[in-house]
């Protein structure tokens, strides 16, 4: 009788099997983000220090992109530009300045394919920091005031 009970609890035997492939997919979209650090020039002295020497400063643009995404960073002319000259406003007066891509301050940083800074495809999703080199030309005849401007930084990817 014990042998009969043991047979009643045996697992059923399967004689056949079937298989199928389960497809798995995802899409990674090209994406970038941008942040900036201000170009703070400090004090401009048109009478002594900066009568013949420009005032230099730096800021930065930080870009984080999906691995493999190439981009271009464009900097607008700002809210007080006169033609292609960037200017900071201080009341009714203006203090001219320039933004550049290189330490020698010879390559103006603007917008579009000819003036924006082109960046190669990102090797990883790690942020890339790009220095903005600023210069306030020497010898400007401006009133005592606090001067400022707002430049729009754009990434095209």
pLDDT at 7 over 60: no
60 contact partners, CB below 8 Å, separation of at least 6: 36, 37, 129, 130, 131, 132
Contact status, residue 156 vs residue 80, Cβ threshold 8 Å: no
Residue 15 confidence class, pLDDT cut points 50, 70, 90: confident
Contact status, residue 144 vs residue 91, Cβ threshold 8 Å: no
Alpha helices (H) in 54-131, listed in sequence order: none
Tokens of 152: 């729009």
Q: Report pLDDT digits (tens) over 92-149.
A: 999 999 999 999 999 999 999 999 999 999 999 999 999 999 999 999 999 999 999 9
Q: pTM of this prediction?
A: 0.84
Question: Is domain 36-156 in CATH 2.60.40.1090, yes or no?
Answer: yes
- The domain spans of the chain are 36-156
């Amino acid at each position: 009788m014990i042998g009969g009970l043991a047979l009643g609890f045996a697992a059923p035997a399967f004689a056949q099997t079937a298989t199928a492939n389960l497809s798995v997919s995802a899409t990674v979209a090209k994406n970038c983000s941008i942040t900036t650090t201000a170009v703070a020039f400090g004090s401009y002295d048109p009478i002594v220090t900066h009568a013949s020497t420009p005032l230099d400063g730096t800021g930065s643009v930080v870009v984080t992109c999906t691995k493999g995404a190439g981009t271009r960073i464009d900097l607008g002319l700002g809210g007080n530009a006169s033609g292609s000259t960037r200017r900071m406003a201080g009341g009714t007066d203006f203090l001219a300045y320039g933004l550049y891509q290189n330490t020698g301050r010879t390559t103006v940083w603007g917008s579009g394919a000819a003036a924006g800074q082109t960046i190669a495809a990102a090797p990883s999703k790690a942020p890339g920091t790009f220095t903005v080199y600023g210069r306030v030309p020497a010898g400007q005849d401006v009133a005592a005031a606090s001067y400022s401007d707002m430049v729009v930084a754009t990434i095209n990817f």
